[in-house]
Amino acid sequence: MKKLKEIDFKILAGLMKNSKISDRKLADSIGVSQPTITRRRAFLEEKLSLDYTAIPDFAKLGLEIMAFHFTSWKPEEVEMIRQKKGFQEQDAKYLSGQTNLIFASSGQGLGMSRLGITFHKDYSDFVEYKARFEADWGAYMTRYDTFMVSLKSDRVLRPMTLKYLADHIQSANNP
């Protein structure tokens, strides 16, 4: 992929702050022409697979809990299931059925090797999800911990948005 230009980071930051912004308004705010924005935006959409989405107030949608699921997997079990024929397809099918799971990845920290982030309408929904997950995958895990966040709390210190990350990306990539 071609190296991103300074203008690309400005466009990305603008889109992360407001994905509905018109090319003309974005061009005015950055100080370039509208055709430049349209051309670079098309490039970014193709090369970075930009996905435009809204981040709602989850509590107002009736979701009460955001949960972070940390797991540590048995290396020998993981290697065994990876070698099973059709495992990739089975895993992809399982993940696609978890509609409240918004992120899942391997990683490291806290003695864990996987992270998943889910949303739940209430505590009962969370407990049911956790029980299903443990039933489906418990044999492969050495440890499973969760961290729950109440989305109805008045103690949210910073709401979930990409605006802050946009500022960080733009400042980190400005000479």
User: In this structure, is residue 19 part of a structural domain?
Assistant: yes
- pLDDT tens track for 46-95: 888 778 888 888 999 999 999 999 999 887 766 776 676 666 777 778 88
What's the CATH number where 24 sits? 1.10.10
Q: Which two tokens stand for residue 170?
A: 């733009």
User: In this structure, is residue 155 part of a structural domain?
Assistant: no
Do 71 and 146 belong to one domain? yes
Per the CB < 8 A criterion, the answer to whether 146 and 136 are in contact is no
Q: Which of 9-13, 101-105, 136-140, 146-150 shows the lowest per-residue confidence on average (mean pLDDT)?
A: 136-140
Please count the structural domains in the chain.
Answer: 2
Q: What single string gives the DSSP state of each residue in 40-86? A: HHHHHHHHH---------GGGGT--EEEEEEEEE-HHHHHHHHHSTT
Q: Is the pLDDT of residue 35 over 90?
A: yes
User: In this structure, is residue 22 part of a structural domain?
Assistant: yes
State the pLDDT at residue 86. 65
User: In this structure, is residue 85 part of a structural domain?
Assistant: yes
Give the CA-trace dihedral at 72, 84, 138, 135, to 10 degrees. Answer: 150
Do 44 and 71 belong to one domain? no
CA atoms of 173 and 4, how far apart (whole Å): 10
Do 140 and 77 belong to one domain? yes
Structural domain that includes position 14? 6-53+162-172
State the pLDDT at residue 154. 81
Q: Which residues are bridge partners to 145 per DSSP?
A: 70
- pLDDT tens track for 78-87: 677 667 666 6
Residue 69, class by beta-carbon neighbours within 10 Å (0-12 exposed, 13-18 middle, 19+ buried)? buried
Do 123 and 86 belong to one domain? yes
User: In this structure, is residue 114 part of a structural domain?
Assistant: yes
Do 23 and 99 belong to one domain? no
Output phi, psi for 161, to 5 deg. Answer: -155, 160
Q: Is the pLDDT of residue 174 over 70?
A: no
User: In this structure, is residue 18 part of a structural domain?
Assistant: yes
DSSP label of 121: S
Q: Which of 40-44, 80-84, 147-151 shows the lowest per-residue confidence on average (mean pLDDT)?
A: 80-84
Residue given tokens 């409240």 in the structure block: 100
Q: Are strands 112-120 and 65-73 parallel, antiparallel or unpaired?
A: antiparallel
